[in-house]
């Protein structure tokens, strides 16, 4: 049985300008939110330490050690979050940039007078509804050209020599369809 071929792309940055822009926005928002949360956690920690009223020397030593630990953990968390959000952002934008890339390639083929050989999107790709509409539109265009070719073929014997321009149109449409 013939199963549809799975298309896998090995390049994650298909459209670096688009992908890095939106990945950068996600990473920046994540970092800002994390830093704000870390500030409030650190501030609450300092307030709680002051409320404990430990002896000054012991309290200062405990406070210094815990402050260092908290800062280290918060910084490590923010760095890990930035890396994770960056990777996730590239993957998510890849699922959008891939279909845009394919449809742009198909549009260039249409602009050049031909019809592209369509292939399905990959399983994880976004924009499937838009892609399906594009494919249906393309199939509608092909059907209209097939009908035009059939009508021209029917009219050609009646026109004789005067149908040369019409025959050129017919041949161009047939070539685009890959039928002549």
Is residue 57 scored above 80 in pLDDT? no
Whole-angstrom Cα distance, residue 126 to residue 104? 15
List Cα–Cα distances, 77 to 11, 22, 32, 72, 149, in angstroms: 28, 22, 13, 8, 65
Q: What is the pLDDT of residue 133?
A: 94
Considering the domain architecture, whether residues 114 and 166 belong to the same structural domain is answered as: no
On whether both 151 and 178 belong to a single domain, the answer is yes
Asked, for residue 4, whether it belongs to a domain, the answer is: no
* Selected residue with higher pLDDT from 82 and 62: 82
CA–CA gap between residue 60 and residue 46 (Å, rounded): 11
Does residue 82 lie within any of the structural domains?
yes
Query: What pLDDT, on the 0 to 100 scale, is given for residue 134?
Result: 94
| Structure-token pair, residue 79 | 């760095």
Residue 1 confidence (pLDDT): 47
Residue 138 and residue 75 share a domain: no
User: Which pLDDT score is estimated for 164?
Assistant: 84
Do residues 122 and 143 share a domain? no
Q: What is the mean pLDDT of the chain?
A: 83
Per residue in 14-46, pLDDT tens?
778 888 888 888 888 888 888 888 888 878 877
Q: In this structure, is residue 6 part of a structural domain?
A: no
Same-domain check for residues 153 and 117: no
pLDDT at residue 115, rounded to an integer? 92
What is the model's pLDDT at position 178?
A: 83
Same domain, 98 and 133: no
Six-digit token string for 151: 């009508």
Residues 50 and 28 both lie in one domain: yes
| Domain limits for position 165 | 128-180
pLDDT confidence tier of residue 6, bands split at 50, 70 and 90? low
Q: Which of 52-56, 71-75, 176-180 has the lowest average pLDDT?
A: 52-56
Q: Name residues whose C-beta falls within 8 Å of residue 97's C-beta, 6 or more positions apart in sequence.
A: 14, 15, 18, 19
| Domain total in the chain | 2
Band of pLDDT at residue 13, cut at 50, 70 and 90: confident
* 15 lies in the same domain as 25: yes
Co-location of 70 and 154 in the same domain: no
Distance CA 152, CA 173 (A): 11
Q: What is the DSSP letter of 11?
A: -
Assess whether 133 and 88 both reside in one domain.
Answer: no
């Amino acid at each position: 049985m013939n199963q549809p071929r799975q298309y896998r792309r090995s390049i994650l940055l298909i459209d670096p300008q688009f992908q890095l822009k939106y990945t950068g926005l996600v990473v920046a928002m994540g970092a800002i939110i994390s830093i704000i949360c870390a500030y409030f956690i650190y501030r609450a920690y300092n307030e709680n330490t002051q409320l404990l009223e430990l002896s000054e020397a012991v309290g200062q030593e405990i406070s210094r050690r815990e402050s260092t630990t908290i800062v280290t953990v918060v910084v490590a968390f923010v760095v890990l979050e930035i890396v994770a959000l960056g990777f996730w952002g590239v993957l998510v934008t890849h699922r959008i940039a891939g279909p845009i890339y394919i449809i742009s390639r198909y549009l260039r083929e249409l602009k050049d007078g031909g019809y592209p050989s369509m292939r399905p999107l990959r399983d994880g790709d976004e924009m499937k509804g838009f892609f399906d509409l594009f494919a249906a539109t393309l199939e509608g265009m092909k059907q209209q050209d097939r009908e035009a070719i059939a009508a021209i073929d029917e009219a050609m014997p009646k026109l004789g020599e005067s149908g040369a321009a019409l025959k050129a149109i017919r041949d161009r449409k047939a070539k685009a369809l890959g039928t002549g």
